């Protein structure tokens, strides 16, 4: 009877243990990706605002169309400038390993790096939809408290991310993911030298497509903390993203709907 009772107790501890207790660091990272990203093709508006010493210095508005690659799972995105007027209808295409900028005035497409800055501290790679779990390996999940973008303490897992593919944009990332909800709270991005490039806070969670998702990312420069870029996501819509839109050769023929 004692052996039977012990076996039943062990089985119950497995059945009723919290789901995150058995999660690996990589599973936690993938769960946080699912909070940020829908699992179907979609469109949204990304409004970027740059601040220096508390004063707004620049802004851009982008229409983004994204869908996951059926082979690798990483998102492919077409980005169209809608404002300011001088940049209207310029395009950025992110398709797997390739990132292209297209200017309709010159009809030329130029290859870009995901690390190149688009506005303020927001790089080209920051404005496209990203599955971190596809490009990074989470090697640790330490439990600790972290302040979120609203200065509220959150009980989190701190993940250390190392690149798992040559396409990864950063040499190292630290990411804090809230326990239980898998909400990304903040992330720090590092250069190969070990220098902190920037810190990002994921905040203003709202229900989008049935899930509470961050609708704002605040990016703070690693050396100049008064240099801040805010990304605001709005106008989410489930939509078809034609395969042709995600081909470099199609960029001169793209017409916004």
CATH number of the domain enclosing 51: 2.50.20.10
**Over the stretch 54-82, which tens digit does the pLDDT of each residue have?**
999 999 999 999 998 877 778 899 999 99
Global pTM exceeds 0.75 = yes
Q: Quick check: is 33 in a domain?
A: yes
- Give pLDDT < 50 ranges for the chain: 1-22
As a whole number of angstroms, the distance between CA 89 and CA 252 comes to 11
Task: Name every residue whose Cβ is closer than 8 Å to that of residue 170 and which is 6 or more positions away in sequence.
Answer: 115, 163, 189, 190, 191, 197
> Is the CB of residue 97 less than 8 Å from the CB of residue 159?
no
Q: Quick check: is 121 in a domain?
A: yes
Neighbour tally for 181: CB within 10 Å: 16
Which of these, 79, 86, 47, lies nearest to 63 by C-alpha position? 79
Q: Quick check: is 10 in a domain?
A: no
> Is the CB of residue 70 less than 8 Å from the CB of residue 223?
no
Q: Give burial (CB, 10 Å; 0-12/13-18/19+) of 171.
A: middle
The whole domain housing 132 covers: 22-253
As a whole number of angstroms, the distance between CA 30 and CA 132 comes to 7
Q: Quick check: is 164 in a domain?
A: yes
What pLDDT, on the 0 to 100 scale, is given for residue 123? 78
Measured in degrees and rounded to the nearest 5, phi and psi for residue 101 equal -110, 130
Number of separate domains in the chain: 1
Q: Quick check: is 157 in a domain?
A: yes
Q: Quick check: is 1 in a domain?
A: no
Q: Quick check: is 12 in a domain?
A: no
Establish whether the linkage from the previous residue to 253 is cis, with ω within 30° of 0. Answer: no
What pLDDT, on the 0 to 100 scale, is given for residue 102? 95
What pLDDT, on the 0 to 100 scale, is given for residue 131? 87
Q: Quick check: is 8 in a domain?
A: no
């Amino acid at each position: 009877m004692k052996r039977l009772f012990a076996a039943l107790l062990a089985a119950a501890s497995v059945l009723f243990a919290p789901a995150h207790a058995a999660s690996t660091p990589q599973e936690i990272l993938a769960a946080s990706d699912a909070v940020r990203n829908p699992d179907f093709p979609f469109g949204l508006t990304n409004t970027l605002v740059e601040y220096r010493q508390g004063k707004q210095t620049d802004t851009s508005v982008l229409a983004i169309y994204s869908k996951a690659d059926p082979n690798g799972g990483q998102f492919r995105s077409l980005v169209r400038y809608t404002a300011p007027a001088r940049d209207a209808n310029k395009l950025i295409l992110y398709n797997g390993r390739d990132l292209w900028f297209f200017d309709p005035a010159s009809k030329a497409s130029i290859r870009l790096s995901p690390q190149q800055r688009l506005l303020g501290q927001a790089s080209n790679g920051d404005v496209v939809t990203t599955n971190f779990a596809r490009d990074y390996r989470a090697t640790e999940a330490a439990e600790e408290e972290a302040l979120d973008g609203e200065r509220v303490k959150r009980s989190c897992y701190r993940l250390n991310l190392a690149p798992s593919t040559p396409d990864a944009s950063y040499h190292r990332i630290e990411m804090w993911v809230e326990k239980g909800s898998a909400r990304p709270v903040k992330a720090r991005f590092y250069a190969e030298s070990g220098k902190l490039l920037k810190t990002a806070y994921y905040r203003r969670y709202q229900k989008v497509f049935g899930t509470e998702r961050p609708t704002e990312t605040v990016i703070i420069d690693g050396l100049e903390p008064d240099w801040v870029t805010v990304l605001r996501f709005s106008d989410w819509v489930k939509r078809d993203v034609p395969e042709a839109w995600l081909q470099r050769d199609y960029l001169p023929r793209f017409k916004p709907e």
